[in-house]
Amino acid sequence: MEFINEAVLHAAGQWWIYPALLVFFFVDGFAMVVPSETLIVALAAFSRHSGEPNLWILGLTALVGAICGDNMAYLLGRRIGLERWGWMRRPKVRKVFAWARYELEKRGAVLIFTARYIPWGRVAVNYVAGSTGFSHRRFFAFDAVACLTWVGYSLGIGLLAARSLGCTTTRC
């Protein structure tokens, strides 16, 4: 276990961690592998312990990657649409899409904001927003605010966890 901790701490201090994280946060927006929440919280805690990665750059990287990934899910939804596959044309599925369109128009900000904090929920809502014709300008604005608060929240949780465990830049 100590080897894994050392490897992660070593990687966290490398220059290439930020481009790698940018790609990870981007892909996580439309094809989840590991929830990005886990990574940003862990790296924030490591940052409190070792000083690396830089929290400002980490936060900016997560913000840009999350916004771009969410917008990719939106654009995929717009491109693929609601008719591509047979299962999408079933009456119950059409009813769900109709409900989603209605809810997005009625309370899009709340739905997009809340979905940002739910790993699979954000992918689904962002895809449906694109596929149902929700305004991209409105989506972008709501998503940007949601991503900004998500980054601050995630960094804060990581720092709070490190502090609760007594981690400092000299020991953890």
Give tens-digit pLDDT for 53-72.
Answer: 999 999 999 999 999 999 99
pLDDT at 89: 84
pLDDT in tens, 80-131: 987 777 877 888 877 877 777 888 889 999 999 999 998 778 888 898 999 9
pLDDT in tens, 9-50: 677 778 888 998 999 999 999 887 777 888 899 899 888 877
Q: Please state, in angstroms and rounded to a whole number, the distance separating the CA atoms of residues 164 and 38.
A: 17
pLDDT at 154: 95
Q: Please state, in angstroms and rounded to a whole number, the distance separating the CA atoms of residues 94 and 102.
A: 12
Contact 104, 132 (CB under 8 A): yes
pTM of the predicted structure, to 2 decimals: 0.84
C-alpha dihedral sign at 21, 25, 26, 28: positive
Tell whether the model's pLDDT for residue 168 goes beyond 60.
no
pLDDT at 167: 62
Work out the mean pLDDT of the chain and round it to a whole number: 86
pLDDT at 100: 78
DSSP type of residue 90? S
Q: Please state, in angstroms and rounded to a whole number, the distance separating the CA atoms of residues 134 and 118.
A: 20
Whether the upstream peptide bond of residue 53 has omega within 30° of 0, thus cis, is yes
Q: Please state, in angstroms and rounded to a whole number, the distance separating the CA atoms of residues 113 and 119.
A: 12
